[in-house]
């Protein structure tokens, strides 16, 4: 876990701030996950493509409950994906992706700009997925 945290910080050091606030949004979501009891966060880097955080709960059977991808683009943007049966999407802001997360159906939320409203909506989905994962 510590090596992943060190790798995340090294990645963040190479990411310049942009008006879209995507780096700040990523940091906020990372900190939310790292502050949860029973959560392990793994970092997967695919330079030139994506940089991913994969959060799992010690009580769950699946290998993760949320994946946060930084998509390499100009500017970088975020895609946050959940197994579709772990969360609700009351405002239908997510995209349903059949087989989109480790071969299972997913709901993904793309944030090209990390507005306060967009981040809060995703944070609520993370909280929901965390509670679902903690239940087994």
Tokens of 102: 């480790």
What are the boundaries of each domain within the chain?
2-134
Q: 3-class secondary structure for the chain? A: CHHHHHHHHHHHHCCCCCCCCHHHHHHHHHHHHHCCCCEEEEEEEECCCEEEEEEEECCCCCCCCEEEEEECCCCCEEEEEEECCCCCCCCCCCEEEEEEECCEEEEEEEECCCCHHHHHHHHHHHHHHHHHHHCC
Q: What is the pLDDT of residues 62-89, one digit of tens each?
A: 999 999 999 999 999 999 999 999 999 9
Q: Find tokens 């793309």 and name the residue.
A: 110
* CATH T-level fold of 2-134: 3.90.1150
Is the pLDDT score of 136 beyond 70?
no
Q: Which of 6-10, 49-53, 81-85 has the lowest mean pLDDT?
A: 6-10
* Backbone φ and ψ of 107, nearest 5°: -115, 125
Model confidence, pTM: 0.94
pLDDT of 2 reads 64
């Amino acid at each position: 876990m510590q090596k992943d945290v060190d790798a995340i910080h090294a990645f963040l050091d190479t990411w310049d701030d942009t008006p879209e606030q995507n780096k700040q949004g990523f940091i906020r979501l990372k900190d939310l996950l790292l502050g949860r009891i029973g959560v392990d966060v793994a970092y997967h880097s695919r330079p030139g493509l994506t940089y991913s955080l994969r959060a799992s709960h010690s009580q769950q059977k699946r290998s993760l409950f949320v994946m946060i991808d930084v998509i390499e683009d100009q500017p970088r943007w975020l895609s946050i994906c959940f197994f579709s049966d772990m969360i609700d999407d009351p405002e239908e802001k997510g995209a349903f992706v059949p087989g989109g997360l480790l071969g299972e159906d997913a709901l993904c939320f793309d944030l090209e700009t990390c507005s306060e409203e967009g981040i809060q909506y995703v944070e609520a989905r993370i909280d929901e997925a965390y509670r679902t994962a903690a239940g087994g």
